[in-house]
Amino acid sequence: MTSLDTIDPDLLTNKVATLTTLGADGGPESTIVWFIVEDGKIVISATARRRKTKNLAADQRVSLVICHPDTPDYYVELRGTAELSDDADYTVADRIGPRYNADFRTFDRPNDKRLAITVTVAKALVTDVR
């Protein structure tokens, strides 16, 4: 069982999450990301030129906030670590893209390097103030 197994699966049906990484100065940097859940982990696709991937190369600690799709009064904060891996062949991007009716190749610049971000969740903190 993973930390994701302990939360309401409806929370993970939201199509966006807020990913927070730690910048070079140690401060938080947040961005909205698309994601899927696979094998108890959160999987994200990004290019190497993005600030989030540069931050993760230096410090693997992350936080993701995912609101219930029907209300911001019910959400989960997922804390853990992220692993970067090469996705030059778009294997991971092609698994994420259909959820958003998107092809990541159309977003990338000619020399972009596509990466997979795999988040292992250590702690899930649910807030429900509905």
Per-residue pLDDT of 18-55, as tens digits, reads 999 999 999 999 999 999 999 999 999 999 999 999 99
CA atoms within 13 Å, Cβ hemisphere of 10 = 10
The whole domain housing 106 covers 3-128
- Is residue 41 within 8 A of residue 82, CB to CB? The reply is no
What's the mean pLDDT in 88-106?
A: 97
Q: Which two tokens stand for residue 85?
A: 């891996």
pLDDT band at 1 (very low <50, low <70, confident <90, very high): low
Number of domains forming the structure of the chain: 1
Per-residue pLDDT of 44-95, as tens digits, reads 999 999 999 999 999 999 999 999 999 999 999 999 999 999 999 999 999 9
What's the mean pLDDT in 94-121?
A: 96
Q: What is the domain-level CATH number for residue 118? A: 2.30.110.10
- In order of 69, 73, 83, 117, the CA distances from 49 in angstroms are 30, 34, 16, 14
